[in-house]
């Protein structure tokens, strides 16, 4: 399990990673295997970012990322490792209207299991927000080399030789601005191009089985619903429970509205897939940066290249592609860049 860490320790970390999502955890693994001291900080209670699960009574939901596919050879090997470790399994390779696709893999028992596995023996500081970052000086830390200093919301400060930021790009831009970090003009243009769509996610407990066909999931190309899955069929929940994701257009239109009202609209739209089952309870979660719709051309971005900044990289699914796999590949690419920069 992830270890707890004293954020006010005088230790200087080799690499500080902001964000315990897939990109951050994947990078941390490679960096640690290279012999570097790594600390991961995340504002959330859980691990995995949009690999999110939730319980409502006896019902369990995957309400963020629903599955992963594997195309890259190294990532395929990682999926095989996760299956061997019992934290992943193949869910399906086709569903009505979409035959003969890539195998879809799910986390076991939920998608968060993969993140927890990645974070084994890792220094992770959770429920902690990085309020600002700045370059350190000799007076700040009593050392002769340039460092990154991260001010936390609990009043502590962390120092590190290198920094990796994996948060959604709009949040990353704000964090860079907090320390007046100058981004090269060409890279700023690339960051400004990146865009995301929001997603309103409904988690509904039912009093009976759904009418969603095997394997328990359906995607939609039009209408208010983008995706619906049966968590009982999927093997996530012990009782009938569905996850409904609003489409990009619906979520953008309703994101700032009352979430429960928006959730009811999606439940009503899902009625044909619920069969005779009635919703007994539901909750709604909003993913403001659910999926990148415009991604960068590179797998990561090394902002410190050709500057006097200490090593600084950006990673996430906005760089290597808007999928589970893309986030992991981006983390690996960022780790490789930082290892080279610290050598």
By the 10 Å C-beta count (0-12 exposed, 13-18 middle, 19+ buried), 276 is classed as exposed
Task: Kindly report whether the global pTM for this prediction surpasses the value 0.95.
Answer: no
Cβ neighbors of 97 (< 8 A, separation 6 or more) are 218
> pLDDT at position 10, please?
56
Domains located in the chain, CATH noted: 12-49+118-194+295-342 (3.50.50.60), 195-294 (3.90.660.10)
* Chain-centre distance for alpha carbon 328: 10
Q: What is the pLDDT along the chain (343 residues), one digit of tens a residue?
A: 344 454 444 578 999 999 999 999 999 999 999 999 999 999 999 899 999 999 999 999 999 999 999 999 999 999 999 999 999 999 998 766 666 678 999 999 999 999 999 999 999 999 999 999 999 864 555 554 689 999 999 999 999 999 999 999 999 999 999 999 989 999 999 999 999 999 999 999 999 999 999 999 999 999 999 999 999 999 999 999 999 999 999 999 999 999 999 999 999 999 999 999 999 999 999 999 999 999 999 999 999 987 888 999 999 999 988 889 999 999 999 999 999 999 9
CA distances from 323 to 183, 233, 277 (A): 26, 23, 32
């Amino acid at each position: 399990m992830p270890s707890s860490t004293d954020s006010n320790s005088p230790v200087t970390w080799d690499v500080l990673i902001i964000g315990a999502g897939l990109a951050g955890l994947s990078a941390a693994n490679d960096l640690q295997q290279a012999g570097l001291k790594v600390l991961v900080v995340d504002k959330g209670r859980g691990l995995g970012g949009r690999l999110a699960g939730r319980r409502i009574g006896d019902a369990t939901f995957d309400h963020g990322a629903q599955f992963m596919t594997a195309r890259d050879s190294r990532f395929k090997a990682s999926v095989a490792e996760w299956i061997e470790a019992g934290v992943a399994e193949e869910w399906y390779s086709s569903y009505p209207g979409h035959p003969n696709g890539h195998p879809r893999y799910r986390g076991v028992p939920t998608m968060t299991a993969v993140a927890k596995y990645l974070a084994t023996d890792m220094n992770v500081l959770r429920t902690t927000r990085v309020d600002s970052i700045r370059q350190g000086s000799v007076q700040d830390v009593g050392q002769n080399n340039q460092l990154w200093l991260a001010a936390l919301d609990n009043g502590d400060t962390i120092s590190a030789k290198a920094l990796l930021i994996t948060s959604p790009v709009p949040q990353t831009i704000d964090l860079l601005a907090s320390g007046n970090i100058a981004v090269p003009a060409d890279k700023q243009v690339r960051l400004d191009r990146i865009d995301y769509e929001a997603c309103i996610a409904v988690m509904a407990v039912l009093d009976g089985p759904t009418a969603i066909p095997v394997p328990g999931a359906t995607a939609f190309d039009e209408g208010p619903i983008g995706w619906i899955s049966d968590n009982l069929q999927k093997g996530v929940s012990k009782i009938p429970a569905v996850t409904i994701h609003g489409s990009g257009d619906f979520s953008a239109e309703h994101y700032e509205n009352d979430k429960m009202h928006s959730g009811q609209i999606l439940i009503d739209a899902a009625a044909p897939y619920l069969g005779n089952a009635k919703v007994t309870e539901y909750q709604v979660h909003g993913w403001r940066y659910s999926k990148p719709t415009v991604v960068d051309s590179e797998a990561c971005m090394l902002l410190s290249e050709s500057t006097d900044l200490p090593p600084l990289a950006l990673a996430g699914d906005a760089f290597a592609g808007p999928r589970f796999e893309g986030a992991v590949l981006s983390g690996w690419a960022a780790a490789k860049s930082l290892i080279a920069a610290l050598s």
